[in-house]
Structures are given as C-alpha cells and as structure tokens.
Amino acid sequence: MAKQTKKQLEEHRKSKRLLLGCICCAIAFFLLYALISASDTGIIGEALSTIMFSSFGASSYIIPIILLWFGILYFITSSILRTRIDLALAVVSVTLSSVLFSLIKNIFNLKFQDGGWLGNVLYPFFLKFFGNWGSIAIVGILFIFFIAAFFRISLIRLIKYIVKSTIEDIKQWYEYRKAKKQDKPTIVNNRPKKELEEETPFEQTEKPRIIDSRQPAKKEDKEDFVQEQMKAAKAQEEKKIITQTEEKEPEETEEQVQEENPVVEPKPIVKQEKIDTKTFSYTLPPVTLLREGSLNTQINEAELQERAEALRDALKSFRIDAVVQDIIPGPVITRYDIVLAPGTKMQSVMNIMDDISLAMKTAAIRIEPVPEKSAVGIEIPNPKASMVSLRDIIDTKEFKDSKSLLTLAVGTKTDGSGYISNLAKMPHLLIAGATGSGKSVGVHNIILSILYKARPDEVKFMLIDPKRVEMTAYKQIPHLYNPCCMADDADVITRPNEASDALKKLVKVMEERYEKYASNMVRNIEDYNAKMVAEGGDKDYYIIVIIDELADLMMVASKEIEDSIQRLAQMARAVGIHLILATQRPTVNVITGTIKANFPARQSFQTVSAVDSKVILDTIGAESLIGKGDMLFLPPSEPRPVRLQGAFVSSKEIEQVVKFIADQDFPKFYEPLVHEVSQAAAATAADKAEKDLIPALKLILERRRISQDLLKAQFGGSARASNILSVLEVRGFIHKPEGTNRWEINYNLVEDYLRINDN
C-alpha cells in the first residue's frame, strides 16, 4: 500500500507540472500576440497591451519569453524547480531591461519606446551616481548576469568557449597565411577514413625490446658454496662426537646431584643447555636440499614478438593506437609495456580488459601503470608456465648478502628476478587467498627462508595450525616455541583454546621483555642484543608467530584472539615478536579493523571476489590472478602492490631440510618466563573469589537458594560465578547429594562464618 501511494503521489506531481506548463505556455503566447497585434485580441488583449507598455515599455516583450521558459521547465520532469528564485530573477531582469531602455533613449535621444513608467522612475538614480556611460555599463552587465542565471547559462563556460574558438580561428588564419606565403597548398582531409588510419604517424617502427633481467648464478660459485656447507656439516659431526665423549663425567656428576637434591632439579639442566646453545656449532641447511627450478630456460623471442603484435592488433581493433615498447618475460607472467598515442587515456585500455584477455586467449590479464617509463604494463599469462623453486631465490646474491635473520624469499618478480623482503621492517604480515591459490606453500616458503638464515637460539617459531596438517612437518626442529610449556615439550599448537592461552601468555612475555629492556636502558631487541654481546650476557631471540588459518580461531574465541593479536601487533615489534596471519576467508569478521590497521604488509593470493581483494589489499586486482602461487604483495609504505610469483616447495624438500636440522641434535632451550606469571594469575583469581565469598553468603541467606545463574546475575560473568561456586563447595557451605542436581545449603555454617568475619 505504501508503494502504491508513493507511486500515485509521483504521478499526481507529474500531472500537476504538465498542467502548469500548459497554462504558462498558453499565457505566454496570448501575451505575445496581444503585444504584437492588440486589436485582434479583443478588449482584454488591448487592456493588457496598454498596461504592459505603459508600465514596462519595450521590456514587455521579455515577459512572454520568461513565461514560455517557465512552461518548458514544467514540461521537463527531470529538471529541478526553483520557483521562488526564478521568479525573483525574472522580476530583476525585467526591471533592469526597463532601466536600460530608458537610459539609452534619454542619453542618445533616440526615437523608440523607452522602459515605461518603471524605467523612467529608476534611470535618474543611476545617472546621478554613475553618469551616462557608467550607468549603461553597470545596468547592462547586471542584466546579462541575471538573465543568464534565470536561463541557467554558465557565463564562464560561454566565455571559455568563445575565447577558445577565437584562438583556434586566429591560429588557422595564421597557418593559412603562412602556407600561402610559402606557396604551399593547404591540407584538406577529404580522403577516406581508412587511408588516414593507414598513414597515421603513431606506428610500430621497431621491434619491441625483450628485457631479460634474470642473472643465473655461476656453476662454480654454486659448487663452492655447497662444498663449503658440506665440509662444515662433516666438521660439525666430528666435533659433536668429541664433545659427547668429553662430557660423560660431568653428566654423571649432574645425575648424582639431582638424586641428592631433587628440589633443585631444573637448575643444572638449564645451565648446561645455556652453555650448549652458545658453544654448539650449528650448520645452516645447504641449498642442495632444495631442487632447482626452470628459471634459466631459454626464452622464445619469436613467440614473444608474435604475441606483442597480436596485442597491438587487439588494441587497434578498438581504435586505441599504441606501441609495444618493452617485453619483460617471466616464468609465469609476461609484461608488455605499451606507450599510448597522445590523447589516449589509460582508462580506455582498462575498459576493454576482458576483450584483450579474450583476444590473447588467456583467462585473465592485469593492467598497471609504469610511471618510470610513462607506459602502461599489460601482464599476460604465458601459454606454458615455468616452475619457480625456492632454491632459485635463496641461491641469489641478494638473499645471501642480507644480514637480517628475518629475510624472506617472498617470490619472483614479473621479470623472473628474486624478490627479497625483511620481516623485521614490516613488522607483521597478513596473508590471504582462496583454497588452492598457494597460500599454504607461501607460508612454508617463509618458514624455510628463516631456517636458511637463523640458528635455533636466534629465532623461535610459535606455529598455530588449527587444520593440523600443514605444520606437522616442523615438529622436530629445535626452533619451536610455546610460552605455556618448557622447550622439550614445545610442539605445533593445533587446538583453538591452547592457541588462545599461548597468545595471552605471549603478551606477558612481551611485557616482561619491555621491563627488562627498560632496566637495561635500551629501546629494542637489536640494542639489547648488541649490549649483551659487549657485556657477555645472553641475547634475546626473535619470536615468529605463524597462524595458518585465522578464521578457525576467530570462530571459537574471537574476542580473546583479537585482543591478544591487537596488543602484540601494536607493541611487540620492539621486543622481537612478529606476527604472520594467514586465512582463506578474508572477510571483515575475520580480518577486523583493529587487526588490519596494525598489519601494513599484505600478501594476497587469488581471491574469490573483488570484495575479498578490497578487504585484504584495499584495492581490486587479486580476483584477476591466475592462482598457483600468483600473488600481489603490498610492502609497507608503498602506494600499490607488486605482482609476484611464489616459489613452489614440495613436502619432500621440507622433510629433507627438517631432517638436516634435527640430525644436528641442537639443544632445545628457552627461559620459562611465564611460569611465575601463571602462578601469580592463579593467586589473583583465588584472592578475587575470596573477596566475593561474603557477598555470596549474604545473597544465600537473603534468597534462601543458590545457583550459577543467580551468582551470574549478581556478580556478572559466568566464569566469576563458577569460581564462587567452587569456593563455596570447597569450604563446605554447599554440596550436592548423589543423584540430584540441586545444591543443599548448610545455613548454620553460613551464619557462623558471617558472624565471625562480617564486620
């Protein structure tokens, strides 16, 4: 009913406007006819003509035009009516025209009709203050301004158009005169359109350059590097055998001390492991454990030139003149840098993105500007993709020369060169992508990159894997960390509740580190470690928290997880704690605003829709990726993301690297900072429940019953109510008989306790 009423009102308004328009047009034509031929319009027409001419003079002819314009506005239903403003503008325009006619007649003594009574009354006022020419100029300018405002004409646009047309006419006249002087014929474009298109000067005169920026390492350098690592591994094994034989006697004395003093059992072990972590010679995994990729394969130049010509023809079919300047081949994507003809907008190429993709026989393409070349880069998938191996990136000079322990081999650029980043500068990373897009393999690349750079006592991994299948391969590495348990018991966290507790206690670890740094008067972990090296103390290790599927954790304990992640993301950078969150469902419920604000570095694989791309990257584009490791990486403080191809690493390669690290028997150790914190937290909870005991007993006497819902309503929170019930049951104030689910209350004990303790 509401919709029908609204529709009826709209139709009523339209019919009313049409009626008013007809009335205005009819009155306008009648007045104009009366002014031109008053004798043919009868007594009413003659009276109106006499009144108008005597009142407004020659300005009377403007009134029918104004009424006709009102009628046109009423007929055009899409126009916005401003009746009061237009009426005021019309009155002022008629008044100024009357004054202008009276001024012209009286100043120049011309024989034509003046402005009537209205003009004769007002024109002396202008003559007195502005003189003859000043009055005409001012009244004329005002009349033009108000009449243009009434007819909704933009004077600025009109003046610009007139000036532009005049300048063009002058230029054409000047060129014509110049050509005539030089006896050159003028050029007249009377030829067919096809001839003009064939002879356009913006043509492909040279073949586009093929830029191959890949720098394959020399075989000799690779062999030398592998031989050095293998020699170091053999020396490590020999040294380990010698140290084991030399340390047999101290181990026996340690066991004797443990048997005599069982209370101080952890102290000798912790001391021994601290010494081992400093003196143990650890060998980083060799690159031979990873297989080589196919980045060094030869490129087919003829095929690239053919595809460049096909791209140019596709653009030309849509009347877009462009020249392919450079071809940058990559393992999976080839970028064609095109230069557009002058006056061609980049948006015109963006509008036909799907048509270009269809013409190039590909699933999807991506278009981005190349500012350093003043060109437009069109990224087109190769007909046959080459595999990118993690070894191709780790074995580069950039990765080897990087001094940071948190160096990441993110992937390869469009041209095939490796892309290296530093997690310490990000300082946290957010990863998203649909199922099968390569997200989990990207997480493995990050872990292996750090394993190829850092010792177990330099970097620790806190791995959270709710899916229980991705991170199980890393159970044997000594880099694992869990603040809820000792180093020997550290494992991959798979349960959401354990993950929530671990993140909460990691916040406590962060706070303790801040207190320690404040007491040592240092600002961050780098300054603290440098000071410990100078003083001979123990350095702090980096802690990398990797959550492989954030959506599963947010479904179970979203509030606790979000609070812990928010605190760590805001403050943990300075103390060496970095977060890497991965999810296949980048919705606003999972990646909340508080989480997203503290993760400036984003890595997006192929997404299901453009909405998911906007959530993770704040821009569209990830939905156009081709999957299988194709990603958009947004570094911090960068305006737009970089397209990269992630490396592929197999489960066999991961097993080989983990086995190489585990065979070295590096001792697992980290300081159990959290045990004291957990005990203090338990004591605080007990004290709080003890304080709530007396109010709870008073509530029992008042209501003569007890239940968790009653305590929850009184004290707030189900956890607090459960704690109070536990204290009441332990103290003997309440109990449940067997076979019933109802609390029985010992009122005598309650009254005695309150009489003694309630002051």
What CATH number corresponds to the domain at position 423? 3.40.50.300
Q: Are residues 418 and 380 in the same domain?
A: no
The pLDDT score that the predictor gives to residue 228 is: 52
Q: Residue 118 falls within a domain, yes or no?
A: yes
Q: Are residues 415 and 374 in the same domain?
A: no
The pLDDT score that the predictor gives to residue 231 is: 56
d(CA 71, CA 78): 14
The 10s digit of each residue's pLDDT in 52-110 is 888 888 888 888 888 888 888 888 876 777 888 888 888 888 888 888 888 888 887 77
Side chain identity, residue 160: K
- Angle 34-35-40 from CA coordinates, rounded to 5°: 35
Dmax over CA atoms of the chain, in Å, equals 138
The pLDDT score that the predictor gives to residue 603 is: 93
417, 214 in Cβ contact below 8 A?
Answer: yes
Q: Are residues 422 and 483 in the same domain?
A: yes
Q: What percent of the chain has pLDDT over 70?
A: 82
Q: Are residues 633 and 700 in the same domain?
A: no
- Residue 734 maps to which CATH number? 1.10.10
Residue ending a domain, choose from 109, 128, 153: 153
Q: Residue 340 falls within a domain, yes or no?
A: yes
Q: Which long-range contacts (CB under 8 A, 24 or more apart) does 174-178 make?
A: none
Q: Are residues 233 and 112 in the same domain?
A: no
Residue ending a domain, choose from 653, 684, 712: 653
What is the band of 214 on the pLDDT scale with cuts at 50, 70, 90?
low
pLDDT of residue 463 exceeding 90, the answer is yes
Q: Are residues 382 and 417 in the same domain?
A: no
User: How many domains does one find in the chain?
Assistant: 4
Tell me what the mean pLDDT of segment 346-372 comes to: 88
Region for 210 from its dihedrals, namely left if φ exceeds 0, alpha if ψ lies in -120 to 50, beta otherwise: beta
Q: Are residues 618 and 715 in the same domain?
A: no
Q: Residue 487 falls within a domain, yes or no?
A: yes
Lowest-confidence pick of 169-178, 215-224, 567-576, 687-696: 215-224
Taking each helix axis as running N to C, give the angle between helix 439-451 and helix 651-662, from 0 to 180 degrees, rounded to the nearest 10: 30
Q: Are residues 441 and 558 in the same domain?
A: yes
409, 418 in Cβ contact below 8 A?
Answer: yes
Expressed as residue numbers, the domain containing 107 is 13-153
d(CA 13, CA 102): 42
Q: How far is CA 683 from the centre of its chain?
A: 44
Residues, the chain, total? Answer: 759
Q: Residue 748 falls within a domain, yes or no?
A: yes
- Residue 336 maps to which CATH number? 3.30.980.40
739, 726 in Cβ contact below 8 A?
Answer: no
Residue 483, CA distances (Å) to 281, 311, 487, 670 in order: 26, 57, 9, 9
Pairing mode, strands 577-583 and 429-432: parallel
- Angle 330-334-335 from CA coordinates, rounded to 5°: 120
Q: Residue 132 falls within a domain, yes or no?
A: yes
Q: Residue 309 falls within a domain, yes or no?
A: yes
What is the band of 574 on the pLDDT scale with cuts at 50, 70, 90?
very high
Cβ neighbours, 10 Å, residue 55: 16
The pLDDT score that the predictor gives to residue 265 is: 35
The pLDDT score that the predictor gives to residue 236 is: 52
Q: Are residues 628 and 482 in the same domain?
A: yes
Which helix (H) or strand (E) covers residue 193, if one does?
helix 193-198
The pLDDT score that the predictor gives to residue 235 is: 56
Q: Residue 608 falls within a domain, yes or no?
A: yes
Q: Residue 214 falls within a domain, yes or no?
A: yes
Side chain identity, residue 618: D
Burial class for 312, CB neighbours closer than 10 Å (0-12, 13-18, 19+) = buried
The pLDDT score that the predictor gives to residue 263 is: 34
Side chain identity, residue 42: G
The 10s digit of each residue's pLDDT in 529-564 is 999 999 888 889 999 999 988 888 888 777 888 889
The pLDDT score that the predictor gives to residue 261 is: 36
| Cis check: omega of the bond before 427, within 30 degrees of 0 | yes
Residue ending a domain, choose from 603, 628, 653: 653
Q: Are residues 429 and 532 in the same domain?
A: yes
Q: Are residues 379 and 434 in the same domain?
A: no
Q: Are residues 565 and 458 in the same domain?
A: yes
The pLDDT score that the predictor gives to residue 336 is: 92
Going by C-alpha positions, the residue among 475, 479, 474, 477 that lies closest to residue 458 is 479
Q: How far is CA 148 from the centre of its chain?
A: 47
d(CA 103, CA 120): 8
What is the band of 363 on the pLDDT scale with cuts at 50, 70, 90?
confident
